[in-house]
Amino acid sequence: MTSPLLYDKNGPIAVITLNRPDRHNALTPEMICRLADAFDDFKADPDLRVAVITGAGDGSFCSGGDLALTLPLLTGARSPETDWDRRLATDREILFRSNFKGAHSVKPVISAINGHCLAGGFELMLATDIRIATERARFGLPEARHALIPFAGALVRLPRQLPHAVAMEVLLTGDQIGVERLHDLGLINHVVAQEEVMQTAMAIAERIAANGPVAIAEIKRTISESTGRPLDEGYRIETESMNRVMATEDAREGPRAFMERRPPVFRGK
């Protein structure tokens, strides 16, 4: 049987595919556990520098948590039936690790949004750094319509990534919103044809992977840790990152390779 979540390593790039196209890539307990495990491995593997996450098929990136399997398990309306169920039910941190809620990754993550991106899928997208979407994609957080709330980071992330009034309308109405408006608001980087979504995401991932890995990690770390803090604290965090980067071999190799007109060889040290 094909796994509902695929995790492949293409050199320095990890590719994670939500693989339930017949169910709009809705997240089952097994998928959530496997996604958390994949992210843990991605963060720990020194050879991986960037990840791309996408959905199988051409209909949906992810429609959120499976309403028949996952949501009833989390509300207590369904008792655990499988090892995956029991693992998720007894360790809530798995749910949070599957969305980088709390412990973020200092490695960049790109979402290749191949279709509709709703509920938990929207929250997963918000946890990524760069977003490529098909021109047919629609987005939304319909949880309030089901007497639920988004709980995988959206209540904190969305008002920081969109203007307050827009975020509140999306969250309180549960209405869907088109990709072009989100692109205009800066939530989506690029809107492309369906067949170009993965190609565009991989091209960006390759450009990132070619850069200094310590520098990339420190850029993301500084931004993540300084957001929302006073300027003097942000500058302190930035200076600490500068000191770490300037002490690396890569920081010497980069300028040297530029002066010698050759491609740099970065070792992450």
Residue 237 in tokens: 């965090």
Q: Which runs of E-coded beta strand occur in 44-154?
A: 50-55, 60-62, 109-113, 116-118, 130-134, 138-140
Residue (of 202, 37, 193, 45) closest to 130 by Cα position: 202
Instruction: Give me the catalytic one of 30, 81, 123, 169.
Output: 123
CA–CA separation, 105 and 177 (whole Å): 28
Residue 55 in tokens: 């959905």
Instruction: Give me the catalytic one of 30, 81, 93, 143.
Output: 143
Angle of the 231-246 helix axis to the 213-226 helix axis, nearest 10 = 170
Residue (of 54, 55, 44) closest to 22 by Cα position: 55
Let me know if 143 is a catalytic residue. Answer: yes
Residue (of 127, 109, 111) closest to 43 by Cα position: 109
Q: List the alpha helices (DSSP H) in the chain.
A: 29-44, 70-75, 83-90, 93-97, 120-126, 154-161, 164-173, 179-184, 197-209, 213-226, 231-246, 249-259
CA–CA separation, 110 and 225 (whole Å): 19
User: What's the sign of the alpha-carbon dihedral 97, 100, 101, 104?
Assistant: positive
Give catalytic residues, as residue numbers: 123, 143
